[in-house]
A and B are shown apart, each in its own frame.
Chain A
Amino acid sequence: MKTEQLIDLLARGAGPAQPALVARRLGPAACAGVLASAAIALGGIGPVPAAMVGAAALWIKLAYGGAMALAAAWLAGRLARPAAPAGAAAAGVLLVVGGMALVGTANLLGMPAAERLPALLGRSWASCPWFVVGLSLPALATALWALRGLAPTRPRLAGFAAGLFAGALGALGYALACREISPAFVAVWYTVGIGITALLGAALGPRVLRW
């Protein structure tokens, strides 16, 4: 088939380009991912005690996870488009991490020095990141699938963004079951978990995001 014939074929009946394609793929991926994370966390670990529901700690975790998910979704959306600049979106992610770090630091500074390290470590610092990673895996699968149907020309970075996104969704689910109360704990150990998922995404990106 000559190229001009191929062009005739492509153009005929082509219609308009699909609107909001990126959102239409990332949106369902996010919903499926966060639902899976919440279901596994609630079913597998169990919901937080009722007393925590009104307290600040739960809402801080949800706010952090939510903000990170939005920032990471923005970044992933940029990286899903060939030649689209992603600097502002990357800065957005850093802002979210930095903001949470500030909240955590302020909280630590407001306590007596002797209480700071125990608050930072909580009771589950060694396991928390791994719970976040585990709960992020369904979301990582759906996020990578969503990106595969788009056009990521920087697959390692796109995989990293997918991992950030999935990690944030995993953290949102984990927040429903996590009994820790220190914002500094969240700023460090939730971020470590999200970061590990991001690195996993970056490792998978070049292999999975082929189109």
Chain B
Amino acid sequence: MPDNANQNEPESGLRTLWLRAQAGDEAAYREALLLIASRLRGFLRHRMQSAPDDVEDLVQETLLALHLQRGTYERSLPIGAWVVAIARHKLVDLWRRRGRRDALHETLDDVDEALLVAEHEEGGTRRDLEKLLLALPVAQRQAIWLTKVDGLSVAEAAARTGASPSAIKVQVHRGMKRLADMVKD
């Protein structure tokens, strides 16, 4: 078992990273998402004791949602609270899809997020996002692959495909949204 006691990053460290990420710092964004993922894992493991195999899938689903909803974050919100609210929403949605009526009335206790233990070790997922990516419509898949896997800039990807740069951005966004919809069983 990893020693979790010293691995809680202070809220201010994550907040600094997140604010830089919001401004466009991709390296900071990556670091922030890694930190958030390990906290999410701990948070969700605690609440999904009856479905431990689904934890990592929900971590991924929540990260996708955080990414798509970055525009709803504002500086006055504590990062932990914003993330937890989204995670809870996704968890409730999962229980609803699974038909767990009883879980909807479960009082989600207000655990202080600062006390949550970070869990760095990833669990296995049921679902393979890579397969889902390949199942996207061609334009969306191509735009995502070129910019996010091959690491081309938007301009380079536009040149490669013959589409306009703004069309590339639109296809990436649509593709990520479609991916977020597809992960709901």
Interface band, chain B: 35 or more
- Inside 8 A of A7's CB, which chain B residues have their CB? 30, 33-34, 37, 63
Does B65 sit within 8 A of A, measured CB to CB?
Answer: yes
Q: Contacts A3-B37, A12-B151, A210-B93 hold; do A81 and B23 have CB atoms under 8 A apart? A: no
Interface band, chain A: 20 to 34
Does B11 sit within 8 A of A, measured CB to CB?
Answer: no
Q: Is the interface of A mostly helix, strand, loop or mixed?
A: loop
6 nearest CB pairs, A to B = A21-B71, A82-B85, A16-B24, A17-B70, A18-B71, A11-B30
9 contacts between A and B (CB under 8 A): A2-B122, A12-B148, A12-B149, A13-B147, A13-B148, A17-B73, A210-B93, A211-B65, A211-B89
Which residues in chain B, 119-169, are within 8 Å of chain A measured between CB atoms? Answer: 122, 125, 128-130, 133, 144, 147-149, 151, 153-154
Q: How far is the CA of A18 from the CA of B133 in the complex (A)?
A: 23
Other-chain contact of B72, A1, A11, A80 (Cβ < 8 Å):
A80
Q: How far is the CA of A198 from the CA of B75 in the complex (A)?
A: 29
Residue in A11, A12, A22 whose Cβ sees the most chain B Cβ within 10 Å: A11
Q: Contacts A10-B64, A17-B73 hold; do A82 and B149 have CB atoms under 8 A apart? A: no
Q: How far is the CA of A194 from the CA of B33 in the complex (A)?
A: 42
- Inside 8 A of A81's CB, which chain B residues have their CB? 72-74, 77, 82
Q: Name the CB-closest residue of B to A81.
A: B72
Report B27 CB to chain A, min CB distance, Å.
8
Does A115 sit within 8 A of B, measured CB to CB?
Answer: no
The answer to whether B148 touches A83 (Cβ under 8 A) is no
Q: How far is the CA of A10 from the CA of B154 in the complex (A)?
A: 15
Q: Name the CB-closest residue of A to B34.
A: A7
Does B52 sit within 8 A of A, measured CB to CB?
Answer: no
Does A15 sit within 8 A of B, measured CB to CB?
Answer: yes
The answer to whether B22 touches A6 (Cβ under 8 A) is no
Q: How far is the CA of A34 from the CA of B50 in the complex (A)?
A: 48
Does A114 sit within 8 A of B, measured CB to CB?
Answer: no
Does B14 sit within 8 A of A, measured CB to CB?
Answer: no
Q: Name the CB-closest residue of A to B153.
A: A13
Q: How far is the CA of A6 from the CA of B129 in the complex (A)?
A: 8
Which residues in chain B, 53-103, are within 8 Å of chain A measured between CB atoms? Answer: 56, 59-60, 63-65, 67, 69-74, 76-78, 81-82, 84-86, 88-89, 93
- Inside 8 A of B76's CB, which chain A residues have their CB? 84
Does A151 sit within 8 A of B, measured CB to CB?
Answer: yes
Does B172 sit within 8 A of A, measured CB to CB?
Answer: yes
Report A50 CB to chain B, min CB distance, Å.
46
- Inside 8 A of B93's CB, which chain A residues have their CB? 210
Report A16 CB to chain B, min CB distance, Å.
4
Q: How far is the CA of A18 from the CA of B30 in the complex (A)?
A: 17
- Inside 8 A of A17's CB, which chain B residues have their CB? 21-22, 70-71, 73
Residue in A81, A82, A151 whose Cβ sees the most chain B Cβ within 10 Å: A82
Q: Contacts A7-B34, A9-B148 hold; do A82 and B67 have CB atoms under 8 A apart? A: no
Report B39 CB to chain A, min CB distance, Å.
13
Given A6-B64, A82-B86, 5 further pairs, Cβ under 8 A: A3-B59, A17-B73, A18-B71, A150-B71, A211-B69
Does B29 sit within 8 A of A, measured CB to CB?
Answer: yes
Q: Name the CB-closest residue of A to B71.
A: A21
Report B183 CB to chain A, min CB distance, Å.
11
Residues 147-177 of A, flagged 1 when their CB comes within 8 A of B and 0 if not, give: 0001101000000000000000000000000
Does B9 sit within 8 A of A, measured CB to CB?
Answer: no
Q: Contacts A21-B71, A21-B72, A82-B89 hold; do A10 and B63 have CB atoms under 8 A apart? A: yes
